[in-house]
Structure 1
Amino acid sequence: MDDTASFDQFVHEHQQALVRYAVLLSGSRADAEDLVQEVLVRIYQRWGELAGSTASPYAYVRRAVTNEYLSWRRRWSTRHIRTVPELPEGEHFDRHRDQPDERLWRLLRELPRQQRAAVVLRYYEDLTDAEIAEVLSCRLPTVRSHVSRGLAALRSAIGVPERAWRGHD
């Protein structure tokens, strides 16, 4: 299979999942599509090299989307996230996994970007601490700290007493 066909197949198989992941990071369907598009355009230019040298192109692209989100948030620090949730429409979701309730969605968007990325990677992408550390280019204790602090902030905002969740991370 030539590089173009291989890339087209990858996009066909993974674009929706990448956009859903980016929506959770960015808080906006439009921003998520822009993030994924930007990454795919850059990756297309060296797809042959990437597909042949990477065990998991999806993991590589997901990491690139995460990095683009983190750098995009720094570059566009004056941009604000909308207060109305914009979850993708017309797609089939596992309601309990892919579509948080409105309050939780709003609270997730309020987390600092590193914490938000760590929480989304843990609970949406179901990655281990080591995999999250690789995606975020940080150490394991930093991942654990981001996840712990992010969850603590969410629990505090929701009003869940600490004794109700202690030891359930």
Structure 2
Amino acid sequence: MKRNSNDLILKTMTSIIAFILLGFSVYLFFAGHNAPGGGFIGGLMTSAAIVLMNMAYGQSGMRNSLPINFRFLFKLGLLIALLTGMGSFLFGEPFLSQTFAYFQLPILGRTELATALLFDLGVYLTVIGVTMTIILSIADDRREEVTQ
């Protein structure tokens, strides 16, 4: 496939836009238990940034910069979400019960930490893993069709 001169513009803008998307996805992830957002939409925003990098740099370039096994990632996310939900059984609470407490952290000061954040982490990793597995599988199938 012949590359054209627009690749430089695409790659430059991808770096900027992916950075903004990743920053916004982190904000949405942490805002999720008190405001709109959470693991699902944060995972979708992260996936959008990764897809953009895949479009700009190609699948081999993306895999070199992000050597992540997305199938393992969604299994890890499911495990974290399941263990977080079952963790409430240890305290005699119903499945998926959540609690929170305030902690004094070195840089952040007094910060609220909730068990819902752990569940959101599982959802976040699961959404990224599933979304990227589906999109990259479709991209591989399309690439095989073009080469045949």
Range class of TM-score, shorter chain: under 0.3
TM-score (norm: length of structure 1): 0.25
Greater relative contact order, per chain length (Cα 8 Å cut-off, separation 6+): 2
Higher strand share: 2
Query: Which structure has the bigger radius of gyration?
Result: 2
TM-score (norm: length of structure 2): 0.28
